[in-house]
Structure 1
Amino acid sequence: MKKVSILLLSLFLASSCGNDYLDIKPETKNEADNFFTTEADAVSATTAIYSFLRSWENSAFPSQYVFGVPADDVLKGSNPGDASFMLAYDQFTYTASDGGVEGYWTGQWNAVARCNQVISNIPKITMNETLKKRLLAEAKMLRAYFYFNLVRIYGGVPIFDGIPSDLNYNIPRKSKEEVYNFIISDLIAASEVLPQTYSAADQGRVTKGAALGLLSKVYLYKKDYQKAYDTSNQVIAMGYSLDPDFNHLFRIAGEFGPESVFEVDCECSSLGGSQYAEVQGVRGQFGWGFFTPSPSLEAAFETGDIRKELTILRDGETTPEGDVIAVGDPLSVKTFNQKAYVPKSLNNTSCGYGSRQNIRILRFAEVLLINAEAANELGNSATAITNLNKVRTRAMLPGTTATTQSALRTAIWKERRVELAMEGDRFVDLVRTGQASSALASYGFVAGKNDVFPIPQNAINQSNGVLVQNPGY
């Protein structure tokens, strides 16, 4: 994506957007009117939304607290005494007052506020109408993504379709169904405007394929299998393909490749990079050593699955790129997330380790698995098997032996686990598919409570009771 200086804009957004409980400060009309005046302002404001995708809140600790550690494929990592408070997320003992619960909440609302700044203010600017429509579509697509994060982690949340005319952000939560319908509306609207591709200068901006791909995933969560199937078929027809080299897929050279549907540009710039790779890097050698693969994940790979050794980075191994892995902390865990690994020769030392590593939010492999799962639920086992086997073939595995709907369902869910390992889908997948109560029982998971996280207690207090807490908290 073309690098646009957004420092002043970011400061403006931080000072002019939310009620405290949503991290959205009351808006001053003059501030917005004075900024949103030119076409360049419109582009910069939209670019500021993208900067949040690689932020600490969206890609490092807060996101791992809620999407990573609660799953059975991710451990806290590092050494036992380092950040031991994270064990609360592994053992489901966190409370509504925990910083991680609040950090992810406030971060996502900050991002929603950036989207709504664009959606409410760009229409007033005299500028190229085609570009204006595209920027508004980008903001809607990204707003849908942030709301998708919120609804999966916290359940129903307040809905803000733009900046409220009365500037009142203290409103009740909507139901999960209402939030999902809002997300779907945004994604459909965005998909009708966004282009399929961009020039090199704008690489990394969301596309029609990204909007439809995310939409197919949303339909899967709603168990609307027909729409998940139809929408994923639209994406399949767009020309995406699997990267034939699973290792290449997660290296710098594989960024924005044929498998990339929705990917965050994290290239180091004057504003810094992302800490996504740094917090997961080999402890004492490349990074901090957190959020590491579990023995349960390792056991989930079939014999002969090449993804196992390309997902799990081990102390003492030599990587395909020639780095000898040498953990620098004798008390540290000895395995790490290889998908977040950046070879030493490619590291940009002007930012932190691995700051160049893009974040893959949605890959074509997942679109194939969404299509397979939806097809199977619709009774179309032939298509389900075909698309499941495309993913397995890339992993050097034989075709599935599953033939019944029940067996195929289990096979597809297992394939999602190993294909998307360490990418932030396992916990919400377990909840979505009803497997969490059995798979996570030994960790302390309580069905009907831990399916979602608590609304932060500070948010409840600051709303004066307008926000209602989730059951069990």
Structure 2
Amino acid sequence: MKKLGIYIIAAASCLFSSCLDTELYTTIPVDDFFKTESDAQAYLNGVYGGFRDRSARCYIPAGEYAYQMLNEVAGANLIFGPGAQKGNQLMMEKAEWGVDFYVTSSLWMDLYMGISRTNIGIDNLRKQAPTPAIERFIAETRVIRAFFYADLVYLYGDVPFITTSHFDLMSKPGRTSKDEVIKFCIDEIKDAMDKLPDSYPAKDYGRFTKWGAKAKLCKIYLEAKMWKECAEIANEIITQSPHRLIADYSKLWGVENEKNAEFLFVIPSLPPRYQHSAYAAHFQPADFLNPDGTVIGWDYYRATWDFYDSFDPADKRRADLLTSYEAKVKGEIVVKEVGHGVGEGPIPNKFPMDPAHIDWTEGTDIVLLRLADIILARAEALNELNGPSQEAVDLINKIRERAFGNAEHNLKLADYPSKDALRAAILQERSWELFLEGYNRMDLIRHGVYIETMKKKGSTNVSTNHLLLPIPQSELNMNPNLTQNPY
């Protein structure tokens, strides 16, 4: 991170054409900024840009530099497809990275860039008269900073911990313990969340509400194994928030259903470039024919056949994995079956092509927090606290009834006599329900089965050393007070 002194660097990217809309600022002296609420909101939009813009791209599920894709492809169920069968990618797919892991520096820099923006924003917003709007802007920024820091320690463990914009790079900070950083994140969100509204008007879609903040806090509790706190806040979200499960799972992911009641926090998207998502291009084979006649796929990712085979055939979620597709070959339209060769597997189609796509850019919103995840988090926390219970099973069955369209495939408490048995069922349900949403690797680590799972996937060198990413070598070269993770 750079010492930003008297300048604000605010890559204030637009998140949606009708909301969070800003100009793109470069370097602006502090004395010329933060003078009005509109100035403050313009900067806050740039803080939100830390989730998605070109200089801080870590939450745009596309290339492997995205936080979500690392947690999926270095998990159980996703592999690199025929369009990405290279040495570096295969190392990542099997979680066998070393100190020179090529994704490490990108995620580190992107997350710290986002944190730097929040520190600048908080320090300068606190200098303004405390109007209700300014107080809300500060609360939003504190939640975002906690979001970034929590995800940073999930990747790297102990990290340099900086909460001020008046940071001197020459101080060469060492690593602060993960537990201390997580405690900070919890305290920040708890203090900020009730200063946020229950909802926003449509023009402000994509900002953190009180319930979005509580959902991130729930997820932090889950990863920290703070089961009582996780169960309580999950119950509050489930029973008191305006959020509910969408009845038809198949209609959850298309652009026609954005702004739905299940989503707690999203990154709004819109083509063309710099405001877009790019799901379909990464998942579709190079000859995949879209309904509008276009062929744009890069064939970057595939699901594993083992994952496909784990689904009950009656589970509607399996339909998101294509085993055949229409292709355009030499001008002819043919149906092609998916093979079993190197890099081949079912084609993820959870996020269908945006009909209004422009080339490979789409307007499909990127979902970071949704209610189904929170429901399963409460089920897990209840099981860890007290063992199998009817309430925990009922929570899982809320998800399963939607997935199957009836109650015929519901779990029965009598079939899960032990905590271990229900824990395994919850982990499996999470893998089916939350595929491609960026949680699989973390779920496996939390459940203590990551190493054995990656060995089943084909890894021969994975070890406990791969539970964290290496600290970027460039950071170690500049800062002798940093130490490397074990490798």
Which portions of structure 1, spanning 4 or more consecutive aligned residues, are displaced by more than 6 angstroms? Answer: 323-332
Residue in 1 aligned with 2:36?
A: 38
Runs (5+) with no aligned partner, structure 2? 1-15, 288-294, 328-332
Give the CA deviation at 1:69. 1.6
Give the CA deviation at 1:458. 0.8
Give the CA deviation at 1:213. 0.9
Q: Report SS of the residue matched to 2:59.
A: helix
Q: 2:401 aligns with which of 376, 393, 405?
A: 393
Residue in 2 aligned with 1:86?
A: 89
Q: Give the residue type in structure 1 aligned to 2:267.
A: V
Give the CA deviation at 1:146. 1.1
Give the CA deviation at 1:246. 1.1
Does the CA contact (< 8 Å) of 2:95 and 2:454 recur in 1?
no
Write the distance in 2 (CA, Å) between the matches of 1:428 and 1:115.
25
Residue in 1 aligned with 2:270?
A: 267
Give the CA deviation at 1:268. 2.9
Residue in 1 aligned with 2:318?
A: 308
Q: Report SS of the residue matched to 1:36.
A: coil
Does the CA contact (< 8 Å) of 1:72 and 1:296 recur in 2?
no
Write the distance in 2 (CA, Å) between the matches of 1:5 and 1:179.
32
Write the distance in 1 (CA, Å) between the matches of 2:35 and 2:170.
24
Write the distance in 2 (CA, Å) between the matches of 1:146 and 1:125.
24
Q: 1:77 aligns with which of 77, 81, 92?
A: 81
Write the distance in 1 (CA, Å) between the matches of 2:454 and 2:321.
22
1:460 and 2:476 equivalent?
yes
Does the CA contact (< 8 Å) of 2:211 and 2:264 recur in 1?
yes
Runs (5+) with no aligned partner, structure 1? 13-29
Higher helix share: 1
Residue in 2 aligned with 1:230?
A: 232
Q: 1:384 aligns with which of 373, 392, 397?
A: 392
CA RMSD of superposed structures (Å): 2.7
1:131-210 equivalences under 5 Å are 131-164=133-166, 166=168, 170-210=172-212
Q: 1:246 aligns with which of 239, 246, 249?
A: 249
Does the CA contact (< 8 Å) of 2:84 and 2:301 recur in 1?
no
1:372 and 2:375 equivalent?
no
Structure 1 residues 288 and 169, CA gap change in structure 2 (3 angstroms): farther
Structure 1 residues 71 and 331, CA gap change in structure 2 (3 angstroms): closer
1:408 and 2:422 equivalent?
yes
Give the CA deviation at 1:324. 9.2
Residue in 2 aligned with 1:58?
A: 59
Write the distance in 1 (CA, Å) between the matches of 2:277 and 2:337.
22
Write the distance in 1 (CA, Å) between the matches of 2:273 and 2:300.
26
Write the distance in 1 (CA, Å) between the matches of 2:441 and 2:461.
11
Structure 1 residues 122 and 438, CA gap change in structure 2 (3 angstroms): same
Give the CA deviation at 1:365. 0.6
Q: Give the residue type in structure 1 aligned to 2:398.
A: K
Give the CA deviation at 1:92. 2.9
Does the CA contact (< 8 Å) of 1:283 and 1:327 recur in 2?
no
Write the distance in 1 (CA, Å) between the matches of 2:193 and 2:215.
10
Q: Report SS of the residue matched to 1:316.
A: strand
Q: Report SS of the residue matched to 2:79.
A: strand
1:418 and 2:432 equivalent?
yes
Write the distance in 2 (CA, Å) between the matches of 1:88 and 1:437.
15
Q: 1:362 aligns with which of 363, 369, 392?
A: 369
Q: 1:286 aligns with which of 289, 296, 301?
A: 296
Write the distance in 2 (CA, Å) between the matches of 1:156 and 1:324.
52
Residue in 1 aligned with 2:290?
A: none
Does the CA contact (< 8 Å) of 1:283 and 1:332 recur in 2?
no
Write the distance in 2 (CA, Å) between the matches of 1:50 and 1:455.
25
Q: Report SS of the residue matched to 2:464.
A: coil
Structure 1 residues 415 and 454, CA gap change in structure 2 (3 angstroms): same
The worse-fitting range, judged by mean Cα deviation, of 440-449 and 367-376 is: 440-449
Q: Give the residue type in structure 2 aligned to 1:337.
A: P
Does the CA contact (< 8 Å) of 1:400 and 1:411 recur in 2?
no
Give the CA deviation at 1:167. 5.9
Q: Give the residue type in structure 1 aligned to 2:430.
A: R
Residue in 2 aligned with 1:118?
A: 121
Write the distance in 2 (CA, Å) between the matches of 1:188 and 1:439.
35
Q: With structure 2 as the length reference, what TM-score do the two structures score?
A: 0.84
Residue in 2 aligned with 1:21?
A: none
Structure 1 residues 3 and 178, CA gap change in structure 2 (3 angstroms): same
Write the distance in 2 (CA, Å) between the matches of 1:452 and 1:332.
25
Write the distance in 2 (CA, Å) between the matches of 1:72 and 1:364.
23
Deviation sequence 1:228-279 (CA, Å, 0-9, x none): 0001011112132111111210111121211101111112368542334433
Deviation sequence 1:337-388 (CA, Å, 0-9, x none): 2123214xx2232xx4242011111111111000101111121612101101
Does the CA contact (< 8 Å) of 2:97 and 2:466 recur in 1?
no
Residue in 2 aligned with 1:19?
A: none
Residue in 2 aligned with 1:339?
A: 350
Structure 1 residues 286 and 377, CA gap change in structure 2 (3 angstroms): same
Write the distance in 1 (CA, Å) between the matches of 2:230 and 2:242.
18
Write the distance in 2 (CA, Å) between the matches of 1:456 and 1:167.
17
Q: Report SS of the residue matched to 1:124.
A: coil
Q: Report SS of the residue matched to 1:302.
A: coil
The worse-fitting range, judged by mean Cα deviation, of 48-57 and 446-455 is: 48-57
Q: Percent identity?
A: 28
Q: Give the residue type in structure 2 aligned to 1:273.
A: H
Write the distance in 2 (CA, Å) between the matches of 1:431 and 1:367.
18
Q: 1:100 aligns with which of 86, 103, 106?
A: 103
Give the CA deviation at 1:52. 2.7
Q: Give the residue type in structure 1 aligned to 2:416.
A: T
Residue in 1 aligned with 2:308?
A: 298
Give the CA deviation at 1:49. 2.0
Give the CA deviation at 1:287. 2.9
Q: 1:49 aligns with which of 47, 50, 63?
A: 47
Q: Give the residue type in structure 1 aligned to 2:93.
A: D
